[in-house]
């Protein structure tokens, strides 16, 4: 079961990446369909971000409550309602994080950068799948309501 779950997650994340198709409304990264987050804002505008962390950050910064939220189920790559989903916050998987070394203006010293998408937030329809994923990759299981309280 453990190997099957790992292979499934890796396959869905690898095959689901649709680089270049859309850009995250918050961090401007290419969106990876396996982590995408959709919401309908109070004014009816639809918005899509690369991951739940970016979407929830947007809502927190703008003091908004979305009319609806959909997240991508990591196990299947399909959109599901955000409310009943189980999230793994802070695993060792960071699918949309930038892996680049930044230099200062003189080109000599590495500058530590802040990555909007870390730590990762990964959604699952089935709590059992989230539990198996967290057992292998670490992280804390959370509900959408719990996540909303900790993401700034």
Q: What is the mean pLDDT of residues 92-115?
A: 61
Q: How many CB atoms lie within 10 A of CB 30?
A: 14
Q: Rg for the chain (alpha carbons), in Å?
A: 16
| pLDDT over 90 (residue 61) | yes
For residue 30, the model assigns a pLDDT of 77
pLDDT digits (tens, 9 = 90+) for 37-48: 999 999 999 999
| pLDDT over 70 (residue 108) | no
For residue 12, the model assigns a pLDDT of 43
Share of the chain above pLDDT 70, in %: 72
Q: What are phi and psi of 85, to 5 degrees?
A: -70, 155
Helix (H) or strand (E) run with residue 112 in it = none
For strands 140-142 and 46-49, give the pairing.
unpaired
Q: Are 147 and 101 in contact (CB under 8 A)?
A: no
Q: What is the pTM of this model?
A: 0.75
Share of the chain above pLDDT 90, in %: 56
């Amino acid at each position: 079961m453990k190997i099957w779950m790992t292979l499934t997650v890796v396959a869905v994340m690898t095959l689901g990446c649709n680089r270049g198709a859309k850009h995250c409304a918050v961090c401007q990264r290419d969106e990876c369909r396996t982590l995408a987050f959709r919401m309908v804002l109070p004014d009816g505008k639809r918005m899509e971000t690369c991951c739940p962390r970016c979407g929830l950050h947007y809502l927190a910064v703008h003091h908004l409550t979305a009319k609806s939220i959909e997240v991508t189920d990591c196990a299947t790559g399909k959109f599901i309602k955000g409310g009943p989903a189980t999230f793994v916050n802070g695993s060792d998987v960071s699918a949309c994080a930038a892996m680049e070394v930044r230099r200062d203006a003189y080109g000599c010293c590495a500058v530590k950068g802040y990555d909007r998408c870390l730590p990762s937030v990964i959604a699952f329809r089935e709590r059992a799948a989230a539990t198996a994923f967290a057992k292998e990759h670490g992280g804390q299981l959370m509900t959408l309501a719990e996540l909303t309280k900790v993401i700034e």
